[in-house]
Amino acid sequence: MIKWEGIMPAMTTKFTSDDTLDLVMFEKNIKLQIDAGVHGIILGGTLGEASTLTHEEKEILIKETLSTVEGKVPVIINIAEQSTKEAIKVAQHAEAIGADGLMILPPMRYKATDYETVTYFAEIAKSTLLPIMLYNNPIDYKIMITLDMLEELANHKNIQAVKESTRDITNIIRIKNRFGDRFKVFTGVDTLGLESLVTGADGWVAGLVCAYPAETVAIYNLVKSGRINEALEIYKWFMPLLELDVSPQLVQNIKLAEVATGIGTENVRAPRLPLQGAERERVLKVIETAMASRPTLPDYKNIYA
């Protein structure tokens, strides 16, 4: 059972300079996430460069994460497959090796109809006992999970949460108005993190948390404790960094930020390449400026649990 709330990092995958998994740095980052107070770990998403990983590498990362986390927080596996058959296979395997939950994107590389999308989600849900978060991101993946589609899926009890990345935070209110607490709602857009929490989101699937876990959890805890102004001061500082998440080069951007905080490397897997030229200098300047004015955080771990 997953308590769908709080900060859940969409983890980056760490690589060595010779393009193998860097498990030492991966473990270091996850341990810092846990120490900062995150509420779950999500593997295998866009930030994790999942489309470039082999099945063997994915399995190593899952097992490494489960071992490092030691049950302190749930480990959630992202499913972004080409076919329903393959998605079911991934879901069942994740359950078999001990994952705690799934985050599921609509069918990839095919703009499914509403009926096809609902059927896809339903078939996966019926194939596993694992709790599920649906990922609603029509901006990047061209399929909108509508309220009517959620209505059809509501009878599948293990579909429990929605990662809401439409960029329209009023959709959080629409989901809550229609379904009450039936579906927990997470924002998936870093630059709408605080606004979404204030609007009623239960949590935040975050990207820059990979480099700045304490600041991200502090914002969540402060908002949920009603200390909005204190959260806002941290959020103002954070915003130039958070804007690095809403970019096609979000992986390279966030990995540069991880280098700055000592919990990652710049290595990405081709066809991605490290940032070059003026854009690299711009991103480094954003990070350098933020690091020079990094805020002193309140005792955020003890104000909300």
> Which among 139, 70, 127 is positioned nearest to 102, based on CA atoms?
127
Residue 1 lies in a domain: no
pLDDT tens-digit map of 170-206 = 999 999 999 999 999 999 999 999 999 999 999 999 9
55-60 contacts at long range (C-beta below 8 A, 24 or more positions apart): 57/13, 57/21, 59/97, 60/21, 60/23
Q: What is the pTM of this model?
A: 0.96
Is 135 a catalytic site residue?
Answer: yes
Quote the pLDDT of residue 304.
67
Check 14, 58, 120, 135 and give the catalytic one.
Answer: 135
Choose the catalytic residue: 58, 120, 141, 163. Answer: 163
163 in catalytic set: yes
Burial class (CB in 10 A: 0-12, 13-18, 19+), 55: exposed
Whether 28 maps to a domain, the answer reads yes
For residue 297, what are the domain limits? 6-302
Question: To the nearest whole number, what is the mean pLDDT of the chain?
Answer: 96
- Residue 46 domain-assigned? yes
Domain CATH code at residue 173: 3.20.20.70
Q: What domain count does the chain have?
A: 1
In a domain, 58, yes or no: yes
pLDDT greater than 70 at residue 92? yes
